[in-house]
Chain A
Amino acid sequence: MSGATLVLEDGTVFSGASFGAEADSVFELVFNTSMTGYQEILTDPSYRGQGVLFTCPHIGNVGVNREDYESGCPQISAAVVRAVSPIVSNWRAEKSLPDWLAEAGVPGISGVDTRFLTRKLRDGGTQKAALSTRGTDPAELIERARAWPGLDGRDMVSEISCPKEYAWAPDSGSRWVEGDRPGAMKGKHIVAYDFGIKKNILRHLAADGARVTVVPSNTPANKALALKPDGIFLSNGPGDPRGLPAIVETVRALLESGVPTLGICLGHQLIGLALGGRITKLKFGHHGGNHPVRDERTGQVWITAQNHNYIVESESLPAGVAEVTLRSLNDGSLEGFRLLQRPAFCVQFHPEASPGPHDARDVFGRFFTLVERRGA
């Protein structure tokens, strides 16, 4: 293993060992506290433009397999870990993490003090950063990190969304997602907007028998509605929702149509913007598989998977139009709301988990109920 250098925009330099691809990379550095599921995290399109620092010390133990993909390939710009496992120990593993990242062109650094780095990001906030696994001078890397425009206000969605519409077909990972009421959604059609959609969301949308059509992010509302959907889904995705004004207009028209709608993560933020809500950036985001969310109506607590840097400010939602349904138990921030006059609701966290606990999977059940009620 040769050397690797990681720099932050504030000028901090870390040296470690390299793994994965030999490359230079510039990104926004975020930390993720999940203790399992690195393959799903690395392939989650919402991480586009970001490097992921894993607080879990050992990464690579279970290798990489064909089932645990959230998109076609690794999406992150860099992996920062305490220790890469030299061996793979899992019955489903087909490849080692370093080999897989090398093929995908993603560089990684190991042997850095991830605790120190995490504290730095937690106390000082998310930073722009750069990584070289081919010996680029640290001073130059710092310059590149500082010169990089960052993600705020940028459209990261158009580069990741599918180029054209397609019908979702179950994949090898679908066997892990069982429907709660298999067959109950047969004959229903869900149109899913792809802003960087995770496969596990599609697996869940299809689990009870619904037909799912995935459409590109720039699909106009009238074109989506012409597909005669019984339900509309607005996906997760990378970057800042404020960089997507055209999509916000589309979402507004979709909500007006009265077709039952569910939004997850970026989809939730877009609904918030469509209602006139305000977006703010969190200091260091919520990224992990242990985030408690409380249902404001029942008091029930779900342990959820989360991955977001931006939030909809709950006070900015117009009164009489939306009702807050879910809040983070950790910091009280908005985690979900429903529309009062429309069959639509959305969540900031990831009910499809992958990786993470399955506590919130009933979000899909609630969406299906809305869809069924409209058809009745």
Chain B
Amino acid sequence: MPKRTDIRSILVVGSGPIVIGQAAEFDYSGTQAAKALRAEGYRVILVNSNPATIMTDPDLADATYIEPLTPETLEAIIAQEHPDAMLPTVGGQTGLNLALALGNRGTLEKYNVQLLGAKLRSIELAEDREQFNRAMRDNNIPVPQGGPAHNLEEAAALVKATGYPVLVRASFALGGTGASWVKTAEELPEAVRKAIAVSPIGQSWLEQSFLGWKEFELEVMRDRADNFVVVCSIENLDPMGVHTGDSITVAPSQTLTDREYQVLRDLARRVMRAVEIETGGSNVQFAVNPADGRTIVIEMNPRVSRSSALASKATGFPIAKVAALVAVGYTLDEITNDITGQTKVGFEPSLDYVVVKIPRWAFEKFPGVDPTLGAQMKSVGEVMALGRTFPEALSKAVISL
């Protein structure tokens, strides 16, 4: 299918300030997407509050707005520029949240702006754990038991089902902010209070614990013809319990047989369908019991994520670029693979090397912060190393720290 000609101008949303949990990788993805869309002849309107980014360099977009990333500002920009479409999936969770806000305010409808890459319903589904879990259960996809709690009583009731330890999260918070593992009843009130305080909707989410299970991620891509590829599999060196952003990760996964790997692949495809992600890149996270192989879907991000940036560099598959191209209607068998120059991106990269990512922490700069790793991300950066073997890649990564 050729690209869409019914849209001419596209608003691309950046991710704003670089903070712990949402770092420069979204500049990389936004820049890649803007370049790809411009090369296809679309007028690209870019908005980001952070001028210290590559994507806001003068020649990257047709119009660049360095403005606060709020629904009000975006509405004003939309009123002025009248874009035909908006691509919210390359600016981290900030981009998705803004799309959701603009949808709820009626801005998108009022100015007839189409969302590319993710529908409002998909964004809501992936972000709202209650809706996500329901959608997964409706499709027979295994997810952790859990539920929302607005106060300690509701939390205590949920723990009766999940038992201890239990994961307490702040609903709709980024990078695991306000999340913690609770091992005893004494720790519960403080954890719930903290989560509710941090959550933008004043809600905590309690979830069955999979501490100690193996943790995997698949970076996947889908187009509107329902073609689906896994760009990269990632295995965490440390077990469930440490935020992925704080985990040492290895690509491709190393301890799954093909039977088990294909279970993850099939599940990822079903998750994409259940969340109704028609086009673009997503990231699906899994927990696998090392004792019996039982597999649970932990979460999914319907957008280019921190792991996508890693997977892009690890495999040479330009996830953000391809995500932008499939969002405007191309199918994977039409997009040329930049590395071979001949074959198409409708394939799955096969690595003859190993990739190791190690996070970089800077606790010395944050006196008073508890340096214990857990459900909330605390690293400020990361190094990635490629080697022909795991020991080689690990050694290179350690040296680079």
Contacts and interface: CB of A to CB of B under 8 A. Distances in A.
Our verdict on whether A and B bind, yes or no, reads: yes
Interface string A59-80: 0011001011000000000000
A90 B256 contact: yes
Contact of A299 (B225, B252, B262): B225
B92 interface: no
A186 interface: no
A329 B292 contact: no
Contacts of A291: 347
Given A34-B258, A356-B258, A292 B389 contact: no
A56 B354 CA distance: 9
A90 B257 contact: yes
B396 to A, nearest CB: 14
Contact of B257 (A37, A288, A292, A294): A37
Interface string A278-303: 00000000001111101000011101
Contact of B332 (A288, A301, A354, A358): A301
Interface string B241-278: 00000000000111111111110011000000000000
A114 to B, nearest CB: 7
Contacts of B164: none
Contacts of A301: 225, 227, 331-333, 346
Nearest to B254: A61
Given A34-B258, A36-B256, A288-B350, 8 more contacts: A34-B350, A35-B351, A92-B257, A290-B348, A292-B344, A294-B346, A300-B225, A303-B348
Contacts of A303: 228-229, 346-348
Contacts of B254: 58, 61, 89
Contacts of B353: 57
A298 to B, nearest CB: 8
18 contacts: A33-B350, A35-B252, A36-B262, A55-B350, A58-B254, A61-B254, A68-B257, A90-B255, A90-B257, A91-B292, A92-B293, A299-B1, A299-B331, A301-B227, A301-B331, A303-B229, A355-B262, A357-B348
Central interface residue in B332, B350, B389, by most chain A CB within 10 Å: B350
Nearest to A177: B259
A306 to B, nearest CB: 12
Contacts of A62: 255-257
A95 interface: no
Interface of A: 33-37, 39-40, 55-58, 61-62, 65, 67-68, 82-83, 89-92, 114-115, 118, 176, 288-292, 294, 299-301, 303, 329-330, 353-359
Contact of A290 (B225, B331, B347, B352): B347
Contacts of A55: 350, 352
Nearest to B387: A57
B258 A37 contact: yes
Nearest to B263: A176
Interface of B: 1, 225-230, 233, 252-262, 265-266, 289-293, 331-333, 343-344, 346-354, 388-390
B332 A357 contact: no
A83 B389 contact: yes
Contacts of B350: 33-35, 55-56, 288-290
A301 B228 CA distance: 8
A53 B253 CA distance: 20
B248 to A, nearest CB: 16
A329 B259 contact: no
B253 to A, nearest CB: 8
Nearest to B342: A330
A46 to B, nearest CB: 16
Contacts of B333: 292, 294, 299, 301, 329
A91 to B, nearest CB: 6
A359 B227 CA distance: 10
A289 B343 CA distance: 16
A123 to B, nearest CB: 14
Contacts of B291: 91
Contact of A357 (B233, B262, B292): B262
B223 to A, nearest CB: 9
A329 B350 CA distance: 16
A195 to B, nearest CB: 23
Given A56-B352, A57-B389, A292-B346, A91 B293 contact: yes
Nearest to A31: B352
B28 to A, nearest CB: 25
A361 B169 CA distance: 39
A341 to B, nearest CB: 30
Contacts of B225: 299-301
Contacts of B390: 57-58
A292 B221 CA distance: 14
A171 B279 CA distance: 39
Contact of B255 (A57, A61, A290, A299): A61
Contacts of A39: 257
A65 B256 CA distance: 12
A91 B288 CA distance: 11
